[in-house]
A and B are shown apart, each in its own frame.
Chain A
Amino acid sequence: MPAERLLTVAPSPAFWAAGALYVVASVGLLAGFLRGRPQWSQRARWFAVAAFAAHGLDIGWRGVEGVHPAASVREALGLIAWIIAGGYLAASVKNRLDLAGAVLTPIVAVVLGAARLSPAGQPQADLTLLGRIHISLATIGVAVFGLASAMAAIYLLAERNLKRKRFDALSFKAPGASLEALDAMSQRLVWAGFPLFTVAMILGMIWVDQRGSSMLRPEYTAAIVTWITYAVLLAARAGLGWRGRRAAWLSVAGFVAALTVLAIYVMRRWVGA
């Protein structure tokens, strides 16, 4: 792919539409949650649906123009945002996830905006097919983990409010999923993300080996920490019957590690290392 490609493919009209719709949806979901107006949240959710569709169009259009969603960290962040938006919308079909919407939609809007509007930097010079598959799987895996830990974080908040009997808390007043539903969703998402992330890890190691570069970069360590955290979480759930709070904390910790990996990659991009 020519170097200027990444820089010259301007955001499509669909991107701007998606951005605007995400912002409208975020404002609606936040206001609906904070002001205790569930009907606002419900209307705002349709804006999120439209934003998700427009965002998908944009990703597809960029693909046609030759910018692969996993071509760079920048593109990958956009894809992560898209998967999180889609995951939230899918999960909110069955459950009232007003709080999740109020948290996730603004995050999606910010991640998408920051990723796409930041300078592209230099394209990856030696992006092989293996590398692309690695980046794709890792991206999807991290997005799914992100959703899982968002559910876990909401679980922790709602659980704490219930334990402390804070009946005037917003998480108590707004219609939301039950603790069991949040726990189950989080667990299912970790189960879905883990195989993807595992394959991505293996391919990543092979790719690093092919390029003959060092295995000792900090992002690799962080990736291994991520993998181990989620492996422990799944084992503890299956073997020790871990659930609820403990499982939720592990899930959040795993995602923090995953974010560290992403952050290091993005920083490398910026400093050009």
Chain B
Amino acid sequence: MTAELFVVGLSWRTAPVAIREHLAFADDELVPVLADLRRAGGVAEAMLVSTCNRVEVYGAAAPGEAAYAVTEVRRALVARRAPVPSAVTAALYDHAGPDAIRHVFRVAAALDSLVLGEAQILGQLKEAHARAAAAGTSGPILTRALERAWGAAKRVRTETAIARGAANVSSVAVELAARVFGDLRGKRVLVVGAGKMSTLAARHLHTAGVAELVVTNRSPQRAEALAAELGAVARPWAELDGLLSSADVVVSSTGAREPILTAARMKQVARARRWRPMVIVDIAVPRDAEPAIGKLDGVYLFDIDDLERVVAANLEERGKAAEAAGRIVAVEVGQFEQWLRVQKVVPTILALRDHFSRIAEVEADKLVSALGKKGLSGADRDAAVRRSLELVVAKLLHHPQMALKGDAADALASAIRQLFPLQTVEDRPSDADDLLARRRSG
């Protein structure tokens, strides 16, 4: 028997933020909390994941002590924040054994995330494990489990559509622009207005590697400030027409009551740019762009509702991919369980090998000295080698034979038949002793 994995915690699935916040741990609390957890009864290894959507302890329990460890960890986790509302204790769930393994693997693959397939959780898990490793509370079982979980997560991301398509409104602009332009490197982005949403969208576009980011705003100060924040260039509002003509992607979110991007203006712009394609993302409410400009050749206009519909469609696709992802995770969990099973018998295997080697070594020494004597004939040597090997076999079989005559004879006999490729020699039990005696003498 060796360690067993367990999980204790709560997540968005079981607890609203009002409950989760009671247990959320700040970075500087992690080391003492980890120490508490490691001291909890039955716990061999422990790590703590504390994100805005989950607070979970992953641990390895000493042999046969998973249930005890779970109780102790539940207590230790709440003790830190005592007194906590009873709702916190009620929201805590726990898993042990195969269920715990499956849970950890599903969390890593972002199948347990609020936004299916989101990318942050993997980094958060790595960080949490690194901290536990640094605090000395992680060990071989957790390390191996998490490495396998990351492998599974990587497979899930590459082999299914779970992480495909933008999952939030501010990154959809990148996806829509990519539909038109493919690679966004070398493209020019114009941010009209300095609202919060356009800032977020611009940041995503910036990450996608656009060549030029220009910000324009009615108040030049705001434009300057946003430009500085994004590493962009601020341009005066008066240049808007020219800026529109040279931009490939426009993100607009002004506070204007009347449309800025009117049909008449955009018709001019489209002509000036010779109908080169342009993507306009209008995040403002009320809208900055007149809907009619979406009909212009080469102009692709999306408003806030469109962005939300893309997100909804993407999330639906992710949901469909979750089934395939679950199958991949199940396979990987199976492989880890197999490894864990092997770990349980590794000490036995090592001890058995050690036991055999010692017997062999003693006999080998005797044999070497026996063969070293002078005046031995060839026949003497043959006999000495044979005798020595028979002695080894007899010694190896001594304990098993004694045990086979004991109480657990049937179970041991069938185990031995599984372990060795035996042929049935005689089917008569009464002759067995005769047989053994004959074998020994002859």
A residues contacting B by CB (< 8 A) are 36, 38-39, 95, 158, 162-163, 165, 167-168, 172-173, 177-181, 241-246
15 A-B pairs besides A180-B181, A242-B275 with CB distance below 8 A are A36-B317, A36-B320, A39-B159, A163-B294, A167-B306, A167-B313, A172-B179, A177-B182, A178-B178, A179-B277, A180-B277, A243-B275, A243-B277, A244-B275, A244-B297
A-B contact count (CB 8 A): 55
* Complex-state Cα separation, A163 to B183, whole angstroms: 20
Residue from B161, B180, B297, B320 within 8 A of A179 (CB atoms): B180
Contact B317 A163 (CB under 8 A): no
Residue from A38, A167, A241 within 8 A of B274 (CB atoms): A241
* B contact residues around A179 at 8 Å (CB): 179-181, 277
Contact B313 A168 (CB under 8 A): yes
B324 to chain A, nearest CB (A): 9
Contact A178 B275 (CB under 8 A): no
B265 adjacent to chain A (CB < 8 Å): no
Interface magnitude class on chain B: 20 to 34
* Complex-state Cα separation, A168 to B277, whole angstroms: 22
* Complex-state Cα separation, A36 to B274, whole angstroms: 36
Contact A165 B309 (CB under 8 A): yes
B167 to chain A, nearest CB (A): 14
Instruction: List 10 A–B pairs whose Cβ atoms lie within 8 Å, in order of A's numbering.
Output: A167-B310, A173-B313, A177-B182, A178-B178, A178-B181, A181-B182, A241-B274, A243-B275, A243-B276, A243-B298
Contact B297 A162 (CB under 8 A): no
* A contact residues around B310 at 8 Å (CB): 167
B25 adjacent to chain A (CB < 8 Å): no
B residues contacting A by CB (< 8 A) are 159, 161, 176, 178-183, 274-277, 294, 297-298, 300, 302, 306, 309-310, 313, 317, 320
Contact B180 A162 (CB under 8 A): yes
* B contact residues around A246 at 8 Å (CB): 297
Residue from B182, B297, B302 whose CB has the most chain A CB atoms within 10 Å: B182
* A contact residues around B181 at 8 Å (CB): 178-180
* B contact residues around A243 at 8 Å (CB): 275-277, 298
Given contacts A178-B178, A180-B181, contact A162 B300 (CB under 8 A): yes
Contact B274 A165 (CB under 8 A): no
Given contacts A163-B294, A243-B298, contact A178 B159 (CB under 8 A): no
* Complex-state Cα separation, A178 to B179, whole angstroms: 5
B21 to chain A, nearest CB (A): 35
Residue from A38, A158, A165 whose CB has the most chain B CB atoms within 10 Å: A165
A26 to chain B, nearest CB (A): 23
Closest B residue by C-beta to A177: B182
Closest A residue by C-beta to B183: A178
Contact B277 A244 (CB under 8 A): yes
* Complex-state Cα separation, A172 to B179, whole angstroms: 8
Contact A241 B300 (CB under 8 A): no
Closest A residue by C-beta to B317: A173
Given contacts A173-B317, A180-B181, contact A163 B300 (CB under 8 A): yes
Closest B residue by C-beta to A165: B306
Contact B182 A178 (CB under 8 A): yes
Given contacts A163-B294, A168-B313, A244-B275, contact A180 B302 (CB under 8 A): no
Residue from A95, A158, A163, A177 whose CB has the most chain B CB atoms within 10 Å: A163
* Complex-state Cα separation, A243 to B276, whole angstroms: 8
Given contacts A38-B161, A167-B313, contact A244 B298 (CB under 8 A): yes
* B contact residues around A36 at 8 Å (CB): 161, 317, 320
* Complex-state Cα separation, A163 to B320, whole angstroms: 26
A9 to chain B, nearest CB (A): 45
